[in-house]
Amino acid sequence: MPRRTDLTSVLVIGSGPIVIGQAAEFDYSGTQALRVLKEEGLRVILVNSNPATIMTDPEFADATYVEPITPEVVEKIIAKERPDAILPTMGGQTALNTAIALDKNGVLEKYNVELIGANIAAIELGEDREKFKGVVERCGAESAKSIIVHSMDEAFAAAEELGYPMVVRPSFTMGGLGSGLAYNEADLRRIAGAGIQYSPTSEVLLEESILGWKEYELEMMRDRNDNVVVVCSIENFDPVGVHTGDSITVAPAMTLTDREYQKLRNIAIAVIREVGVDTGGCNIQFAIEPGTGRVVVIEMNPRVSRSSALASKATGFAIAKIATKLALGYSLDEIPNDITKQTPASFEPTLDYVVVKVPRFAFEKFPAADPTLTTTMKSVGEAMAIGRNFTEALQKALRSLEQKGASLSFAPVDPAGVPGLVEAAKRPTTDRLKQVQQALLGGATVEELYEATGIDPWYLDQLALINEVAAEIAAAGAVNEEILRRAKRHGFSDEQIGALTNTPEAVVRGVRHALNVRPVFKTVDTCAAEFAAYTPYHYSSYDEEDEVAQHDKPSIIILGSGPNRIGQGIEFDYSCVHATMALREAGHETVMINCNPETVSTDYDISDRLYFEPLTLEDVLEVIAAEQRTGECWACSSSSAGRPR
């Protein structure tokens, strides 16, 4: 069906200030929404209180209100601007909760304003824990055994039935705010008390423990004609108990059998239909008990999220952009795919590569903070990498974090220290990946680490494979073509190879270049090369075919700011995007290098070419080489803060 003609102006609600659990991903989704609305000829009104975001620049909306995002303030804006509709699904939980309050207060009815992108009934079905449990049951699926409470007396009564440990999940909160794992009465008093306070409805779900189960997420979209697509499957490296934002995540899911994946897919489609999301996207999270294969539905977010941004960058499927078009009345089969220009948005993405996201933490700035990872998000940013296999993508993602010691180390491990590493790895912390890898290096088995951590044996075996390749490099004693190619296909950096062979990094690089062991750059095309890609969105791999096209105009490379961190956030993504806009207006080809999936700068149509790569000397030099062999490259400019690159 064509776009609705009864809408002439839309109010977009932003997400407000950056907080842990609600960050640059909503600047990205909101900016995409504003661009689509303006392209469709609508008058666009924006309310957002964050001056560091790209969306609050005057050119992105016809009227921008840098004001607090509260029902009272938004009502005044509605009274002045009289928009036809409000789009709240691009601003995270802040925007969604504000829209719900406006509806309950009668403001939307008073000013005859329609909610688009989601409806109140669907939001409440997805966000209200008790109602969502009923949705899952009606779909023939299973939720974890749970009890809804609204007071501490009810919580203590529920604990007698559920037993400890139990999961505490407040309704209508973001980033796991107020959630946690209660192992005893003291934990329950602390966590549930906070959850009741944080929940706008003073509602908390107490849930039977599913700790140690495998956790998955499906990113979904549905239109008014009941077309449904699964945009992306995402798997947590950590088992249930660690918030998705704080876990290493992998796309597509690696350890699901086809039968299991189809079961999750069928449940997800039934749930999105039952909830009634018909003009946009959502994500649905699942847990699978490893021993029995029992599947439970954990929760659903009836809006775009951080996972939506990750799925968009992982697949090239612009979720926020397409969700906005759906909100305007289009159907999925009417929306063209910008990357292929031959397939519609109803064409499900296919990945012929592996994507790994690694969270970035800032516990060094808060030494008194508890580094234990739970269901409440603690990461301040994340880095994403793409490779032809898991080991390559993981090692690229780790060096993308730009933290000293983030990459894996292969110094010998005293076997006497292995039991301590295995014991320490039982508690999920920022060090768990290294503890597991070091324990394997020291002689621990995959079986005993699986027993201790619940991390799937396939991932543990992949870490063991990285250790095996490291041992081969060290045994070679010197770099040669065979060892370089094997190391590079598993993501080892020149620095790591140098440490293993006692060779300076610069010498390793020089030998590698002399032997012509150089990466090629593949394309993210949404369709595993079934159709040609018209948008140059690249990642490096030590493969054979280079997919960077020749270019005529000289290019200028812009170095992005990498993962968000305390002291370096979306204000530098703002600078990067404006640098790109200015250079393109001046007639130059622009090339973006960045590894942050949350940002506007890593959208595939912001620059002439996008390289999703770590911001290290080695990786940037290889992009420069690719640009020089396919055309002329004038210069690099950096729009980021921090140390020179």
Where residue 175 falls among pLDDT bands split at 50, 70, 90? low
Confidence of residue 578 (pLDDT cuts 50, 70, 90): very high
- pTM summary value: 0.92
- pLDDT given at position 645: 43
Quick one: pLDDT at residue 635? 67
637 pLDDT tier (thresholds 50, 70, 90): low
Under 8 Å between Cβ of 271 and 135: yes
Classify residue 4 by burial, with Cβ atoms within 10 Å: 0-12, 13-18, 19+: middle
**Residue 2 in tokens:** 């064509």
pLDDT digits (tens, 9 = 90+) for 326-356: 999 999 999 998 888 889 999 999 999 999 9
What pLDDT shows up at residue 644?
Answer: 39
For the cut 90, the answer to whether the pLDDT of residue 61 exceeds it is yes
Residue entry with tokens 């703002």: 574
Q: Are 88 and 99 in contact (CB under 8 A)?
A: yes
Amino acid 323: pLDDT = 93
**What confidence tens digit (pLDDT) does each residue in 480-530 have?**
999 999 999 999 999 999 999 999 999 999 999 999 999 999 999 888 888
Rounded mean pLDDT of 567-582?
89
The Cα 525–Cα 512 span in angstroms is: 29
The pLDDT tens digits for 138-173 are: 999 999 888 889 999 999 998 888 888 888 888 877
Average pLDDT over residues 460-484: 96
The rounded distance, in Å, linking the Cα atoms of 539 and 615 is 13
Tell me the pLDDT tens digit for each residue of 244-277.
Answer: 999 999 999 999 999 999 999 999 999 999 999 8
Consecutive H or E run containing 72? helix 71-81
Q: Select the more confidently predicted residue: 416 or 305.
A: 416
Q: How far apart are CA 216 and CA 284, in angstroms?
A: 8
pLDDT for residue 416 is more than 90: yes
Average pLDDT over residues 197-220: 90
Cα–Cα distance, 123 to 276 (Å, whole number): 9
**What is the distance between the alpha carbons of residues 258 and 330, in angstroms, rounded to a whole number?**
32
Check pLDDT > 90 for residue 18.
Answer: no
Report the alpha-carbon distance of residue 67 to residue 370 in Å, rounded: 34
pLDDT digits (tens, 9 = 90+) for 19-33: 887 777 888 899 999
Q: How high is the pLDDT of residue 174?
A: 58
Mean pLDDT, the chain, rounded, equals 91
Residue 609 has pLDDT above 80, yes or no: yes
Note the pLDDT tens digit of each residue in 66-85: 999 999 999 999 999 999 99
